[in-house]
A and B are shown apart, each in its own frame.
Chain A
């Protein structure tokens, strides 16, 4: 198991009022994402625990792209990864942001 913490400054607070959301499952090739609205409006932190080692650069690229495209300000995101491909990770992050935006 490898852990990784990535911190970003987002352009703005993610819309919506939900305090917390969870999506996905912990399974091989899949991941569970917990999103909590607990940080200041322009902060975003992502904590990753993964079974696949040696993909730090890919994680950083995925998270940076997500922050740029969705601006998830205010969120602490915890990822429990079972070796998912980057496209699956990205989709889960987008789904998580959509859940947090729901009224």
Chain B
């Protein structure tokens, strides 16, 4: 027998490869070449999946391998069971059906969005054994270390007969998922909208794809990044003006990422109007790691933006992006190409500011979007919203933030990423955003989680913006100052009314707290007419009708 010098037989080095051969052979019974009929999808999955497998069904906060997820949920739990689901999103009811039926038992994921309530219930009932809630790139990183999928179910717009895939603007997580699975001898199945002879471009090479199923329906994509300008309130406009004047202009922020909330949409809609009046064009907001937000169209059309790299796409933006190749990253075929892994890394290392909103923030500045009965997960925010300690290139905003944090020790100044939380002191139903204790801590106790889910840790947050003021946490020197800086902008919430008024006034003198009037914001400018677009239809007009909003946003 062929052995190495320690007597280990050669076959011992290719167990995974042999297992792959067996799975391929079993699955091959349902395929012609790589093509599998949609009606055979469940049988195919039962043939290639083994009990206990780590499995990734693609789908994040945008595109979904929904047909394959449904096919797997139909599998016989006597054949396919105890799977360990390792995937970005638990966002379809079918994802949770797997746990209900015992097809899956363990879960490592990032994001749950609308299924947040169902995830919490499933955890509570013990049907889901939770590993961890990750950020996107943290989970992708684990695909290459200790959570490599045995089987991945990916999703593309089109395939050719060799299994080459075209994903167009919705490339998203696929390259990372497919590479980790395919190069570790796993099996990759693709759901596609159509099979064609010639693809516009190849996003994933066919030699990484084992089976292709043409779905009866196009895959689902959530238009998660569309914010209707009609819903932007005056309080949001006020906080957006404060962020522009008190942070963007102050630090000269050119490279940045925005969260998906209405508060940051308001900033985007104020660039061609309010920020233009302040003379900031060209000195802020030029380079972005950002999904194709429709609300950025007016700024793009007004010449504010130089370039945008995206994690994923956005429904209705295809033709607009195709027509603006200088702005977006477009392939040789002309359509945009996204990549969540690359863009998350870009946001981590190459931007100077992250700004996003949250549901709860505590007295140390820790924030969470998790409430008593909903686990929405993280997605990318904790990665965008943290200081990358591996960063070694300087920039003006980064150095200025570092100097503010360090008490000016000129021998060794380390920069800081600006991590900004922009919020309203109360949410819609008079629920205070500022709290003494995050609900996520209570939830962690209830569910016995080892790690309480915190969206952004207080020590990474540099500024909190509310309609009441900006708290610059970089300038706080003690825990007490930090707490009072936060109380000092917490408005009329209980936390805000519990402030030490004298200390807050001293912090204001030191510019740790800055109120709208300190920034010279005229309250009469705080008006919806200040928004570059006041409706989705306005966004269409700005785009020269290239933007094609999804039906649910067409309310005219």
| Chain B CB within 8 A of A58 CB | yes
Verify A91–B238 contact, CB threshold 8 A: yes
Verify A91–B491 contact, CB threshold 8 A: no
| Chain A CB within 8 A of B342 CB | no
| Chain B CB within 8 A of A18 CB | no
Verify A86–B491 contact, CB threshold 8 A: yes
CA gap between A90 and B523 in the complex, in Å? 10
Which among B425, B517, B522 is the interface contact of A87 at CB below 8 angstroms?
Answer: B425
Q: Which residues of B contact A97 (CB under 8 A)?
A: 523
Q: Report the minimal beta-carbon distance from B15 to chain A, rounded to whole angstroms.
A: 62
| Chain B CB within 8 A of A88 CB | yes
Verify B235–A69 contact, CB threshold 8 A: no
Q: Which residue of A lies closest to B521 (CB)?
A: A94
Q: Chain B interface mostly helix, strand, loop or mixed?
A: loop
Given the known interface contacts A85-B426, A98-B524, the answer about A91 and B234 at a Cβ–Cβ threshold of 8 Å is: yes
Given the known interface contacts A61-B497, A69-B517, the answer about A91 and B467 at a Cβ–Cβ threshold of 8 Å is: yes
Q: Which residues of A contact B424 (CB under 8 A)?
A: 85, 87
Q: Which residue of B lies closest to A88 (CB)?
A: B235
Q: Which B residues from 193 to 241 make CB contacts under 8 A with A?
A: 233-235, 238
Q: Which residues of B contact A87 (CB under 8 A)?
A: 235, 424-426, 467-468, 491-492
Q: Which residues of A contact B234 (CB under 8 A)?
A: 88, 91
Verify B235–A61 contact, CB threshold 8 A: no
Verify B522–A98 contact, CB threshold 8 A: yes
Q: Report the minimal beta-carbon distance from A100 to chain B, rounded to whole angstroms.
A: 11
Q: Which residues of A contact B517 (CB under 8 A)?
A: 69
Q: Report the minimal beta-carbon distance from A50 to chain B, rounded to whole angstroms.
A: 13
Q: Which residue of B lies closest to A68 (CB)?
A: B501
| Chain B CB within 8 A of A15 CB | no
| CB within 8 Å: A-B pair count | 45
Q: Report the minimal beta-carbon distance from B424 to chain A, rounded to whole angstroms.
A: 6
CA gap between A29 and B204 in the complex, in Å? 50
Which among B492, B515, B516, B524 is the interface contact of A58 at CB below 8 angstroms?
Answer: B492
Number of interface residues of B (CB under 8 A): 20
CA gap between A95 and B491 in the complex, in Å? 17
Q: Which residues of A contact B468 (CB under 8 A)?
A: 87
Q: Which residues of B contact A98 (CB under 8 A)?
A: 522-524
Q: Which residues of B contact A99 (CB under 8 A)?
A: 524
CA gap between A88 and B492 in the complex, in Å? 11
| Chain A CB within 8 A of B107 CB | no
CA gap between A99 and B524 in the complex, in Å? 8
CA gap between A69 and B522 in the complex, in Å? 14
| Chain A CB within 8 A of B430 CB | yes
| Chain B CB within 8 A of A62 CB | yes
Q: Which residue of A lies closest to B466 (CB)?
A: A87
Q: Which residues of A contact B233 (CB under 8 A)?
A: 88
Residue interface mask A67-103, B partner, CB < 8 A = 1: 0010000000000000001111011001101110000
CA gap between A88 and B235 in the complex, in Å? 7
CA gap between A91 and B522 in the complex, in Å? 11
CA gap between A97 and B522 in the complex, in Å? 11
| Chain A CB within 8 A of B270 CB | no
CA gap between A15 and B477 in the complex, in Å? 38
CA gap between A62 and B17 in the complex, in Å? 70
Given the known interface contacts A85-B426, A87-B467, the answer about A95 and B492 at a Cβ–Cβ threshold of 8 Å is: no
Verify B524–A62 contact, CB threshold 8 A: no
Q: Which A residues from 18 to 36 make CB contacts under 8 A with B?
A: none
CA gap between A90 and B516 in the complex, in Å? 12
Q: Which B residues from 95 to 151 make CB contacts under 8 A with A?
A: none
A-B CB contact pairs (8 Å), 5 listed: A61-B497, A88-B234, A91-B467, A98-B522, A98-B523
Given pairs A87-B235, A91-B467, A99-B524, 12 additional interface contacts (CB within 8 A): A62-B492, A85-B235, A86-B425, A86-B491, A88-B235, A90-B491, A90-B492, A91-B238, A91-B523, A94-B523, A98-B522, A98-B523
